[in-house]
Amino acid sequence: MQVNDREEKALRMLGLAAKAGRATVGVPLICAALQKGIAGKTPLLVLLAADASENTKKRITDRTAYYQVPLYRITANCARLALTVGKRDGAVAAVGVSEPDLARAMITLLK
């Protein structure tokens, strides 16, 4: 799937957040971080891959709505999202960003 310029910039920012240790990778970890509300680890933004399963979409949508965290569905697939956060093999359906400045900039780009 082709990614637009704004989304490409947001994915680069996501890579920076992952390198800085301010990204929560994977649905179970995102749900746990939202529920626990640990300062500095709670996602301020969640990105969902285009090819995530229906169950994953519902789970993430429900959790982000409940905890009032912005959710953006991107056109990148799970494999591309995994590569962006430094996972060489496998797939990542969702990633949460807990770095305030990067999250704010990514929200601005993805609106």
Strand order in the sheet with 23-25: 23-25, 94-97, 45-48, 71-73
Distance CA 13, CA 8 (A): 9
Report pLDDT for 39: 66
Q: How distant is the alpha carbon of residue 45 from its chain centre?
A: 6
This prediction has a pTM of 0.90
* Bridge partners, 61 (sequence order): none
How do residues 56-94 score in pLDDT, each as one tens digit?
A: 999 999 999 999 999 999 999 999 999 999 998 888 999
Report pLDDT for 88: 84
Report pLDDT for 37: 82
DSSP 95-107: EEE--HHHHHHHH
Structure tokens at 85: 């956060």
